[in-house]
Amino acid sequence: MPFKEVQLGVLARVLCFFVLLPHSACLFAEETAVDQNEEDISTYYSEPITVTAEKREENIQEVPVSVTAFSETQMEDAGITRVGELQTYIPNLSDFHFGPRGASESHLLIRGVGSLLGDSSVGFYVDDVSYLSGVSFNMTDFYNIERIEFLRGPQGTLYGRNALGGVINIITKKPTNEFDVRAGLSFGNYDYRKYHAHLNVPVVMDKLFFSLSGSYSERDGFVTNDLNGDTVDDRKGYSGRAKLRWMPSDVLDITLGISGDRIRDGSYAIGPLEEIRDDPYHVRHDFTDGYSDADQTREDLRIVYETPGFTVTSITGLLQHSLESMNDQDFTSNDYFLNDYKKDTDQITQELRFSSPDESDSPLKWIGGTYLYRKDVKNDFDDIMRPDAYDLFSGGALSSLGLDIESHGLLDGDVDTYGGALFGQVTYTVFDKLDLTAGIRLEYEKSKAELRGDRVVNVSGPGLPFLPDYLDDPVIGPQLAPLLYEGPTSRIDEEIDYTEWLPKFTAAYHLDEDIMTYATAAKGFRSGGFNVYLQGSDDPDDLIYGPEYSWNYELGIKSGWFNNRLIANAAVFYIDYEDQQVLQLIGASQTITKNAAKSTSKGFEIELAAKPVQGLELIANYGYTDAAFDEYRDPAAGTVYDDNKVLMVPEHDYLLAAQYRYALNPSLTLFSRVELHGVGEIYWDYANSEKQGSYELVNARVGAEFEHFDVYFWVKNLFEQEYEAIAFEFPVLGWVAQPGDPRTIGLTLNGRF
C-alpha cells in the first residue's frame, strides 16, 4: 500500500477517536483508505463553489479576491440560519449585533474595518439587490438559499459606497423545471420552534416557473427580568418569498421576486456590566413592557439578455422597512430613561450592467454599467427622561423640593439620500498565466436632512406653585434651569454631497491549474452623514460628519492539492484607514460621530478544507488582525488614544471542524459534526480599559439522512461558555453589556418530496 494511503488511514483513525464518531464509521474510514484506488477518485474531491463575487460566474478558486462561500448543503451541515452566525465560519469577521432584530444596526467588522453608528461598512446584497440600511441585515432568515458569498476587503469598484470592509452576497434559489416540495421543523430549549417550507412548480416546461417559500420561528428569551420574572428578549418572526421566472427564449431570462419579513421581538437583554459578568442571564429593568415591531417588504425584477458578444443585466429593487419600538434605555431598576422610536425607510435601486460572456475564450474580460439609488428615512423619536433621572442629575434636589418631573426629547424629520455611479472593470490574460485587472468607479451621493428637535417638560407635585421662587433663587436656580429647559433643542436643515473615484488593481498569476497567487490594491469609501439624535447644538461641526476612506493592500494564494482533496487558501493584508468616523463625547451626556481618527490594520487569514478519506471533511480557519490607532485625540474628553487597539476587533479567531458521513445503505446515511470556535480578546472602548477575554465555543450536530427525510440533533455552546456579546459605556450611567447566547439544544427534521 502506498505511503500516502497509509498516512490517510492513520489520520482517519486519529480523527475518529477525537471526534467521537460511531465505531462502525471509523472502521469504514480505515477500510476506505486501504481500498480507495478501487473507488471513483471524484468522491474525494472538495468541490469548488461557483460564485458571482465579481458579477460573473466563476470558480471560487479562480477569483483573485479573499472570499468565503457556503453552498446550501454546507449551510445545512453547519446549521447556519442568520447573518450573525457567519462570524463562526469566516476568519477576521465579527458581528456585534445586539438588541431586537430590525431595531438596531448590525456592527459588522472585517479586518478591523467597521462602523458603530450610521451606515454599515459592509455591503449586503440579496439576489444583487443592495440593502442600504444595516437594520435589515439581521431580519433576513436563511431558508431556500442557493449559496452565500462573503468578500473581504474594499469592493467599491463593483459594489460602490459603504463596501470598504467587504460584501455579503446572498443568492436565493431560482425557480426551475423540477417539481420540488420541501418542508422542515425545528424545536429546542427556550421553547424554540421553527417551521419552513418551499414549493417549486414548473408552470410551462422550459418557459415559466414559480416558487414559494416561507418560514416562521419563535423562542422565549434567554434573559430574565428579576423584577417581574418574565424574559425580556423573546423572539418571533415570519418570512415569505415568492418568485416567478419567465424564459421566453434561450437568450432572455426574467425573474420577479416578492418577499417580506415581520419581526415581533421583545426588548434589549442588557444590564450593568459587572452584574452581567456575575449573573449573565438576569437583569432588573423597571420598564417591563418593552417591544420591537419591525416589518420589511422587498420587490425585485431581474432581466438577463444574452447576445453572442455580451450580456445585459438589469436589476431593479424596492425595499420598505418600518419599525416601532419602546424600551428601557437605562437597563436598570431605576426609573431613568425610556425610548419610544418609530422609523420608516423606503429605498429604490437600479443597476444596469454589460459584460463579456462568461464562457468566452477571449483573453479579455470586461464588465461595466450604471447604478442609481434613493433612500428616504423618516424619524419619529421620543427620548423620555423620567423622575429618577432628574433626581440623579440634580443630586436629589428636585424631589426634595416636592417636584415630580418627566421630559420628552422629541425628534422628527426626514433624511433623504440619492446617488449614482458609473463603473467598469477589465481583465486581460497574458501568456495564459497572468491576469491583469483594473477597475474604476465614479460614485456620487447627495443627502439632505430636515430634522427638528424639541424638549417638552411636564412638572407636577406639591412643590409646583413654588417653582418660580426656586428658579429665582441664586443658588438653586442655576441648577434647576438647564434641567427644566423647554423648547427647541436642535434644527438640522443641511445638505451634503460627495463625489469619489474608487479604483482597484489586481494581478493574478496561475502557477498551474490548481495554484493561483494574486496581489491587489483597492480603495474603500463610506459616506458621511448627520448626527440625527444630537440635542442642544447648532454647531455645523457637530451636525455633520464626512466620509471615511481606506486603502487595502493584499497578497493571496489559492491552491488545491492531492486532486483537490485539500483546498488551502491564504491572504495577508495591510489597510490604511483615514478620516475614520468615531464616537466622541459632547456635553455631559451625548456622543456624536466625528472624523477624528486614523488607524492601521494588518494581518492574515488561512482557510483549509480537506477530504482525506471518503465521507470525512476537515475544516480549519484562522484569522489574525492587528488594528491600532495611529492618531486619535478626543479634545472634549481630554484623552489621547494613539497606539491603542481599535475597539471591537478580536486579535485573532479560529475554527476547527470535522464532519463525517457514513452510508449504512443506499437509503440511510449517518452524519456527525463537531466545531471549536475560538475568539481572542476584544476591547470595548477607545481607552482599552474594558475588554472581553479570549473564549471558545463548541458546537455539535449528529443525525440520520434518508432518501426523503432527515433528522438532526444539535447543540450550540455545548459547555455553556459565558461571555459578553457586546459592552459599551453610557455617559453618567456607566458600563452596560449584553451576554452571549447560552447553551441551546434542539432537533431538526427535514423532508423532501
Helix residue ranges per DSSP H, 142-251: 156-159
pLDDT per residue over 109-150, tens digit each? Answer: 899 998 777 778 888 999 999 988 777 777 777 888 999 999
The candidate with the shortest Cα–Cα distance to 143, out of 193, 194, 68, 203, is 194
pLDDT per residue over 395-446, tens digit each? Answer: 888 888 888 899 999 999 999 999 999 999 999 999 999 999 999 999 999 9
Q: What is the DSSP letter of 466?
A: G
Which CATH number goes with the domain that contains 512? 2.40.170.20
Residues 658, 540 share a domain: yes
Residues 93, 1 share a domain: no
Contact present, 254 and 281 (Cβ < 8 Å) = no
pLDDT per residue over 518-531, tens digit each? Answer: 999 999 989 888 88
What is the extent of the structural domain holding 486? Answer: 40-752
Residues 5, 45 share a domain: no
Query: What is the pLDDT, as a whole number, of residue 318?
Result: 97
Residues 486, 353 share a domain: yes
The candidate with the shortest Cα–Cα distance to 30, out of 685, 612, 577, is 612
Q: Look at residue 257 and tell me whether its pLDDT is greater than 60.
A: yes
Q: Domains in the chain: how many in total? A: 2
With cut-offs at 50, 70 and 90, classify the pLDDT of residue 472: confident
Q: Look at residue 534 and tell me whether its pLDDT is greater than 80.
A: no
Residues 325, 252 share a domain: yes
Order of strands, edge to edge, in the sheet holding 724-730? 271-272, 734-739, 724-730
Amino acid at 45: Y
Highest mean pLDDT among 13-27, 367-381, 488-502: 367-381
> What angle, rounded to 10 degrees, do the helices at 23-35 and 3-19 form?
170
pTM: 0.89
Residues 88, 11 share a domain: no
Between the alpha carbon of residue 35 and those of residues 12, 28, 429, 732, the distances in Å are: 14, 10, 42, 70
Q: What is the DSSP letter of 118?
A: S
Residues 238, 123 share a domain: yes
Contact present, 549 and 598 (Cβ < 8 Å) = no
pLDDT per residue over 290-301, tens digit each? Answer: 999 999 999 999
Residues 453, 314 share a domain: yes
Residues 81, 8 share a domain: no
CA 187 to CA 748: how far, in whole Å? Answer: 7
Query: What is the pLDDT, as a whole number, of residue 34?
Result: 39
Query: What is the pLDDT, as a whole number, of residue 231?
Result: 96
Query: What is the pLDDT, as a whole number, of residue 394?
Result: 82
The candidate with the shortest Cα–Cα distance to 183, out of 210, 209, 215, is 215
With cut-offs at 50, 70 and 90, classify the pLDDT of residue 108: confident
Between the alpha carbon of residue 654 and those of residues 31, 112, 675, 680, the distances in Å are: 31, 16, 10, 9
Residues 120, 26 share a domain: no
Query: What is the pLDDT, as a whole number, of residue 99?
Result: 84
Residues 29, 121 share a domain: no
Residues 569, 704 share a domain: yes
Cβ within 8 Å of residue 390, ≥6 positions away: 398, 399, 403, 405, 407, 483
Query: What is the pLDDT, as a whole number, of residue 585?
Result: 75
